[in-house]
Amino acid sequence: MENWLYLIRIVFILAIFLFIQGIINTIQKDLEPSSKDEAPEIVKRKLKLEAVKCGERIKLIKGDLDNLEEIHFGRDMNNEIVADDKYISGNHFKINKVNEEYFIEDLNSTNGTILNNKQLGKAENLKNNDIISLGEIQFKVHIY
């Protein structure tokens, strides 16, 4: 009879050990990345600047802007977008694309750049439907 009780204790301890081992394995699987082959899908985003107030003052110099990582705006002909407006500096602002996000930065322009009715200080993340104002020109931002 004592041998049976001893055997039951060993089986019970073994069952508890296997149960705890199963819990540990489950936790380890949950903490591991799902698969090294599965990379997160990167959504390619595009930027469009809609001139909502400008007249005939803006010229696109470099053609298609979709593939550029950096877009420069100002009166100087070296910019991708050139504007004929006395309130706009030669190199007024730039838009950078970083990890599928767009950032606008004023290039120390004389009259500054306004984003959503606030003076742009440091580089700011652009969002869909933001309004960029400078001089007598205004753009609506479309990110899709």
Backbone angles phi, psi at 5, to 5 degrees: -65, -40
Q: Indicate the residue type of 67.
A: N
pLDDT tens readout for residues 109-125: 999 999 999 999 999 99
pLDDT tens readout for residues 57-99: 676 565 566 778 899 999 999 999 988 888 999 999 999 999 8
134 and 109 in contact (C-beta within 8 Å)? yes
Q: Report the distance separating Cα 144 and Cα 141, nearest Å.
A: 10
The predicted pLDDT at position 105 comes to 97
Q: Are strands 70-74 and 81-83 parallel, antiparallel or unpaired?
A: parallel
The predicted pLDDT at position 62 comes to 58
Report the half-sphere exposure of 69 (CA within 13 A, side-chain side): 2
Instruction: Tell me whether residue 77 is exposed, middle or buried, using C-beta atoms within 10 angstroms of its C-beta: 0 to 12, 13 to 18, 19 or more.
Output: exposed
Which DSSP category does 8 fall into? H
The predicted pLDDT at position 39 comes to 59
Q: Report the distance separating Cα 71 and Cα 62, nearest Å.
A: 10
The predicted pLDDT at position 31 comes to 84
pLDDT tens readout for residues 9-59: 899 999 999 999 999 999 988 887 765 556 566 677 889 888 888 766 676
Q: Report the distance separating Cα 112 and Cα 119, nearest Å.
A: 7
